[in-house]
Amino acid sequence: MLNKLDELVKKQEEYALRLSREIFVFDTIIHDMEEKYKQPASIFLQDVGETLSRCKMWEFQEPPEVSSELEEKLCAISKNYLILHEHVQVFRETFPEEAAVKWVKITFDPDTAHPKLQVYADQKILREATSSKESYPQRFTAATCVLGCEGFTSGRHYWEVKVREEAHWAVGVARESVDRKEKLELNPKEGIWVIKNEYKELRADSCYLYSSIPKRVGVFLDYRLRRVLFFDADDGRALYTFHSVSLQDEKIRPFFWLQKPWDCKAEACYIELCA
């Protein structure tokens, strides 16, 4: 009986996780619509078709069926859940800043950009540099990386990044204290949590992700729960999740790596931050 209950709970958790992803995707679509609504009508109408197609890609799944015996046990669990839900509501009302997911408008920090990288367009676009730069102590000098200007020590935060399949790139987060003067391995041991596209293979840490290269990556940082999640921001697919992230209670900043492959045209090698 316990094994059946455990199996059912696991299925319910998987279903709940999918629902949470779908809700998160629709939240981002609503946010996009609100931003586009502020634009002139002609531009707004051009984008409506694309936005609606993103909605149609998602179909809610029915939860798994349960036997009457297990249903009774679930009813008992549900009563406890209702009590827990009330406490969660109190928490959200008492600490709204901790409970809310903040959509963050990220910008590149040019003072941290490697000399071979250049920040453009109100610090929203990252490309290869065409000229030399001044030397700053906070600049990366060995790895072609750059940090975001923003830093986080609490809360839940989300942002999106446009990427190109042709370029080598990595997006995610890093500790403020990440080494900026030595060659880096882009992995948690260095205080870096990213997904990356290299040789048109999508990877996270040492894992190959069996997924097509996204055009837009969503990054979700939950500081309190020590999690970093990555999504395909166009269709809501979960790409990878880092659990039990060792943040060491220090400031966490958006992190980016960009490198031009030999066969990639310069105009296709860039990273762009979404508004």
Q: What is the CATH number of the domain that holds 191?
A: 2.60.120.920
Do residue 66 and residue 195 come from a single domain? no
Helix (H) or strand (E) holding 241: strand 238-242
Answer whether 255's CB lies under 8 Å from 178's CB: yes
Is the pLDDT score of 250 beyond 50? yes
pLDDT average, residue stretch 143-148: 96
In the chain, the number of structural domains is 2
Do residue 189 and residue 264 come from a single domain? yes
- Structure-model confidence comparison of residues 196 and 102, the more confident one: 196
Examine the fold and report which residue of 77, 96, 115 is the final residue of a domain before the chain moves on.
96
Contacts of 181 (CB under 8 A, 6+ apart): 140, 141, 142
Is the pLDDT score of 245 beyond 70? yes
Do residue 52 and residue 135 come from a single domain? no
Do residue 116 and residue 60 come from a single domain? no
Do residue 134 and residue 264 come from a single domain? yes
> Cβ of 151: how many Cβ atoms within 10 Å?
14
The CA distance from 216 to 54, in Å, is 13
Do residue 151 and residue 48 come from a single domain? no
pLDDT average, residue stretch 178-182: 92
Examine the fold and report which residue of 96, 113, 136 is the final residue of a domain before the chain moves on.
96
End-to-end CA distance of the chain: 51
The CA distance from 73 to 76, in Å, is 5
Answer whether 219's CB lies under 8 Å from 226's CB: no
Q: Which pTM was predicted?
A: 0.68
Answer whether 233's CB lies under 8 Å from 212's CB: no
Using the Cα atoms of residue 213, residue 219, residue 220 and residue 223 in order, give the sign of their dihedral.
positive
The CA distance from 135 to 114, in Å, is 10
Contacts from 100-104 at CB under 8 Å and sequence distance 24+?
Answer: 100/155, 100/156, 101/24, 101/27, 101/156, 101/157, 101/158, 101/220, 102/155, 102/156, 102/157, 102/158, 103/28, 103/31, 103/158, 103/159, 104/150, 104/157, 104/158, 104/159
Answer whether 108's CB lies under 8 Å from 149's CB: yes
Q: What is the mean pLDDT of the chain?
A: 79
Do residue 169 and residue 68 come from a single domain? no
Domain that holds residue 26: 2-96
Examine the fold and report which residue of 73, 96, 119 is the final residue of a domain before the chain moves on.
96
The CA distance from 112 to 272, in Å, is 17
Predicted local confidence at residue 91, as pLDDT: 45
- Write out the two tokens for 149: 């200007």
pLDDT in tens, 205-214: 878 887 789 9
- Structure-model confidence comparison of residues 164 and 27, the more confident one: 164
Do residue 117 and residue 232 come from a single domain? yes
Do residue 154 and residue 241 come from a single domain? yes
Strand order in the sheet with 252-259: 145-147, 252-259, 168-175, 192-198, 201-204, 207-208
pLDDT average, residue stretch 192-198: 94
Do residue 29 and residue 74 come from a single domain? yes
Do residue 17 and residue 132 come from a single domain? no
Predicted local confidence at residue 212, as pLDDT: 86
The CA distance from 207 to 209, in Å, is 6
Do residue 170 and residue 125 come from a single domain? yes
pLDDT average, residue stretch 56-71: 58
Predicted local confidence at residue 237, as pLDDT: 85
